[in-house]
Amino acid sequence: MSFNAALVDRFTQMAKLMELLGEDSFKASAHARAARTIGDHPNDLESVAKGPDAKAHLTKIEGVGAKIADKIIELATTGSISELDALRSKAPVGLLAVMEIPGVGPKTAAVFWKQGGVESVADLKRIIADGSILKLPRMGAKSVEKIRESIAIVEAGAQRLHLGVAMPIAERVVGHMRAVPGVSNVAFAGSLRRGKETVGDLDVLVCTNDPSSAASAFVGMHGVLQVIAQGESKCSVRMAIRSDNGRWGGDDAGSATGAEASIQVDLRVIDEERWGAALMYFTGSKEHNVRLRERALKLGLTLNEYGVFPEDPSTVEPPQQRGVPSIASRTEHEVYASLGMAWVPPELREDRGEIDAFAEAASESDPVSAGGKLARRKRGASTGHEPPASAATGHARGVPRLVELQDIKAELHAHTTASDGVMSIVELATAAKRRGFHTIAVTDHSRSSAVAGGLSPERLREHIRDVREAGAQVQGIRILAGSEVDILSGGELDYDDDLLAELDIVVASPHAALSQDSATATRRLLKAIEHPLVHILGHPTGRLINRRAGLSPDVPALVQAAKALDVALEINTHWFRLDLRDTHARVVAEHEALVAINSDVHAPEDFDNLRYGVATAKRGWITAAACVNTWTQPALLAWLKKKR
DNA sequence: GCCGTTTTCGGCCCGACTGTTTTCAGTCG
């Protein structure tokens, strides 16, 4: 576990234990918040915590003050946090798992413990089985049955679904609902709409003049395993998942208990008049919504899922129930505008600085309020760089012109039957051309990737000739001869320089030795970036989401080197990789370095993953200009040529 | 414990739903 992951684990535990023990809830949420921002932090904090001015650097992180900084330093230097040890001595640690059960919060867990003698999930199952749970306060038959079902779901190995598994399910639901009579609008919301790499459940919103037909159509969908709730305004079901992890084998439904893998899908019926406010509310993130509400209050307004309302001293009843007209609610643009903001793309709604940035953009004509907001905001510690001025890389009026799917005009990482792809060079080029691309790079594996059919130097020389021939054969698209060259464990590349120099493009990627420590991995990847013939660093960490952690290099160091040497860092678009991840991409954006959004194509359908990579890039605030795949063919070829 | 364009002290989002109550606590998003 990386040091940051350890911090997230420790502070999360502290927050949970404080809630359980009934300590100050604001203190508990302060620790939970610190865990979240540390989890988002791109570089390893261990060296920061052990280095000079540790406290000053650490307190620059949002949500980290003097006390939490001390605890970070304590963990780095002693390997433990004494306050956490004290908390753990006050309450059984097994209760943390009890609190993970949906529907069981800190208060309920405390009752189980203090009045029911429960110290673990096993204890909880025991008092459910012998019925003694019914003697506890507020525990009726229905509550107990819900808890029993929730335990079963947790034990079936419920984990968040990959973005690329959840998206087709959501689109099927949306398509199904769109065809229901009376339905005028359908959309999915939640973390799926934000393009998060994993998704816990699906939220689907409909606008209809016939709610009961919509509800019955929803619960009657193919694949529905269980109807959890069916009302006029909200329905919840569990739907079966069929997932295929493709060339990595296995699947997401890896349940050892034999229970069918499923995902909860919520349907909500929304009035047309409040569509925008509801869409915002259900898109989240929770943290983004909280910030917006705080902003509304400062402006003398109240924001809820029904709209923006004038502030009201009456706290008894929500404004919409007293017939107070909303100031804005019909569209998201309207709602943001009423809060003095430009519309925020869903991928950015994570409370990572977007509120200030998009308020600044909207108020740019007002020099008093426009200046300095970003600068005042806390920045990640110890990157050693201030964020760039907004104007330089495609930022218009303070709002970044983020990369969009239709901007992508080149694929720079693709495999053919020469290694482990399923298409010939001509088939690959034809497929890329059909996508509207002007350039496709053939980058089969290098010799060390033996299981992937890596090419020997001799075989690569033949392959280059084959690529040139195909180029003459297929018109209307430029086919580049390249290689996805293994970065060996010490940072050396898998082919000699004279061979690499014959290639139009070199993508250097780590494939083995993915458990190296952070410092070794950083040296290894830096060496590849510094290689004069390398254009792109492919899937830099080698992680597989929900499968393996991969490398944890010092990303800011890699980005600075890549920026200086004109190397692009890849966002690999396969939903199993999404590597670089969103928070890493954000570092690239802040340093105005380059990314390559590549689909690592092995089969024709891999091109379809592009949207997941674009979503990840947007979550990292990557502009179109910063993505080499959006460039014109002459610009792209000129960039490649500089390394030849 | 953190934080600051009405604050270095005194706040810290808002509503729905559920199940259990007899007016509301707990959980969730």
- Binning pLDDT at 50, 70 and 90, where does residue A153 land? confident
| Closest nucleotide C1' to the C-alpha of A63 | B2
The pLDDT value recorded for residue A260 is 60
Residue with tokens 């190296």: A516
* Of the ranges A354-363, A400-409, A443-452, the best mean pLDDT one: A400-409
Domain boundaries, chain A: 3-157, 161-270, 276-367, 405-641
Please, which positions of strand B sit below 7 A from a protein CB?
A: 1-6, 11-21, 25-29
| Spatial separation of the C-alpha atoms in residues A612 and A364, rounded to whole Å | 32
CATH number (1.20.1250.40, 1.10.150.110, 3.30.300.160, 3.40.50.10860) of A3-157 reads: 1.10.150.110
Q: What single letter denotes the amino acid at residue A363?
A: S
The DSSP bridge pattern shows strands A307-310 and A301-304 to be antiparallel
Mean model confidence pLDDT for chain A: 88
Q: Which CATH number fits domain A161-270: 3.20.20.120, 3.90.226.10, 3.40.50.920, 3.30.460.10?
A: 3.30.460.10
∠ at Cα A513 (A508, A519), nearest 5°?
85
Please report, rounded to whole angstroms, the spatial distance between the CA atom of protein residue A152 and the C1' atom of nucleotide B21.
28
Give A300: exposed, middle or buried? Use CB within 10 Å, 0-12, 13-18, 19+. exposed
pLDDT band at A398 (very low <50, low <70, confident <90, very high): low
> How far: A362 CA to B28 C1' (Å)?
33
CA of A26 to C1' of B10 (A): 13
SS3 A230: strand
Closest C-alpha to A84, from A182, A6, A179: A6
pLDDT score of A231 more than 80: no
pLDDT at A111: 93
Residue A69, CB, strand B, below 7 Å: yes
Whether residue A513 has pLDDT greater than 70: yes
Q: Cα(A4)–Cα(A538) distance, rounded to whole angstroms?
A: 24
> Which residue gives the smallest C-alpha to C1' distance to B27?
A103
Cβ A7 to strand B below 7 Å: no
Residues A276-367, CATH architecture: 2-Layer Sandwich (3.30)
Q: Is the pLDDT of residue A641 over 50?
A: yes
Q: Which nucleotide is nearest to A59 (CA to C1')?
A: B2
Please report the pLDDT score of residue A96 as a whole number.
92
State the pTM of this model. 0.84
CATH 3.50.30.40 fits A405-641, yes or no: no
- pLDDT exceeds cutoff 50 at A366: no
CA A554 to chain centre: 19
Q: Can you tell me which residue has the tokens 């506890």?
A: A136
Tell me what the mean pLDDT of segment A338-366 comes to: 84
Strand B contacted by A58 CB (< 7 A): no
Residues 6+ apart with CB under 8 A from A157: A254, A255, A256, A257, A261
Would you state the pLDDT for residue A433? 97
pLDDT band per the 50, 70, 90 thresholds, residue A251: very low
Nucleotide showing the shortest C1' distance to residue A68 CA: B1
Distance CA A557, CA A555 (A): 5
Q: Kindly determine whether the C-beta of residue A300 is less than 7 Å away from any atom of nucleic acid strand B.
A: no
CA A559 to chain CA mean position, Å? 19
Work out the average pLDDT over A65-76. 95
For residue A67, give the nucleotide whose C1' atom is nearest its CA. Answer: B1
User: Of A209-218, A358-367, A413-422, A524-533, which gets the smallest average pLDDT?
Assistant: A358-367
Residue A183 Cα distances to A57, A174, A204, A268, A272, angstroms? 53, 11, 13, 12, 11
As beta bridge partners, residue A402 has A623
Q: Which pLDDT does position A244 carry in this prediction?
A: 59
Structural contact between residues A89 and A112, judged by C-beta atoms closer than 8 angstroms: no
Is residue A581 over pLDDT 90?
Answer: yes
Note the pLDDT tens digit of each residue in A431-487.
999 999 999 999 999 999 988 889 999 999 999 999 999 999 999 999 999 999 999
Contact between the CB of A65 and strand B at under 7 Å: yes
Over residues A35-61, mean pLDDT: 90
Q: Which tens digits make up the pLDDT trace of A18-47?
A: 999 988 889 999 999 999 999 888 888 998
The mean pLDDT value for A241-261 works out to 54
Residue in the block written with tokens 């705080």: A294
Residue A554, pLDDT above cutoff 70 = yes
Tokens of A59: 């307190």
Nearest to A370 by CA among A393, A405, A340, A337: A340
pLDDT in tens, A593-626: 999 999 999 999 999 999 999 999 999 999 999 9
CB proximity A277–strand B (7 Å threshold): no
The continuous run of DSSP H or E covering A85 comes out as helix A82-90
